[in-house]
Amino acid sequence: MSQLDEQDLTRDRILQAALESFAERGFKATTVRDICSQAGVNVASVNYYFRSKESLYKEALVYSFKEVDRKYPPAVLASELLPPEDRLRLFIRTLLLRLMDNGQLGLHAKLMAREIAEPTAALDYVVETVMRPRFEMLRTLLPDFVGDGWDAADIDRFILSLIGQCLIYRHARPMVERLCPETMSSPDAINRTAEVIFEFSLAALGQLGTGIGQRT
């Protein structure tokens, strides 16, 4: 193995340890020493590969998105070759699967939940490089369902309402598991939940498209 290969492996090991530590304890409570101990490297390694704890944290966030995108590719959602309904169904299903992943990728949802609850400077970077392009895709897609006449702020409200239907299953998971565990008890149940969210949203958007409540 070449020295460059060893460096790449060391860097990835630090990133993985950082992702796990930040997801479990948050940015403030996690120390560089904690991460290095978990990764089996000396403390100077963080400075060598990432320069600072803040830079490492940002890299860990980006790394978590890349890992999730590898399992749940988002590119197909933007394909204009698909009918609008199929694109919306895929978006909802992909988002819910990402949020409910119980495996290694579950760290991503944990980390993002912590970042949203206690934002750091890294959130601006993540919003601009990862979230905004997907939000813009929905801004382009939703007028297909609700028609013209809605201002941009209302379109954004529709998008946030749609996303919120998915987020509650993650952020209120302990409550959902106690109130109605059958909604997320298995992969089939999660797929069914995604389909219900799609059907509910499609009906609501269609009603809005008839002009009810529409502003001119």
Contacts for 160 with CB less than 8 Å, ≥ 6 apart: none
What is the reported pLDDT for 45?
Answer: 92
DSSP single-letter state for residue 131: I
Domains of the chain as residue ranges with CATH? 3-60 (1.10.10.60), 72-209 (1.10.357.10)
Rounded CA-CA distance 64/208 in Å is: 36
Residue 171 C-beta-side C-alpha neighbours within 13 Å? 12
Q: How confident is the model at residue 213 (pLDDT cuts 50, 70, 90)?
A: low
C-alpha dist (Å) from residue 187 to 57, 116, 194 = 31, 26, 11
Q: What is the DSSP string of 131-153?
A: IHHHHHHHHHHTHHHH-SS--HH
CA atoms within 13 A on the CB side of 123: 11
Asked if residue 170 has pLDDT above 70, the reply is yes
Confidence of residue 215 (pLDDT cuts 50, 70, 90): low
Q: Which amino acid is residue 209, in one-letter code?
A: G
Phi, psi of 30 (to 5 degrees): -90, 135
Structure-block tokens of residue 118: 């206690």
pLDDT averaged over every residue in the chain = 89
Q: What is the pLDDT of residues 53-104, one digit of tens each?
A: 999 999 999 888 888 888 888 766 667 788 999 999 999 999 999 889 877 6
Residue pLDDT, tens place only, 7-61:
778 999 999 999 999 999 999 999 999 999 999 999 999 999 999 999 999 999 9
pLDDT number for residue 69: 86
* Short-list 1, 4, 20, CA closest to 63: 20
Q: CB-based contacts of 139: which residues, under 8 Å, 6+ apart?
A: 152, 155, 156, 159
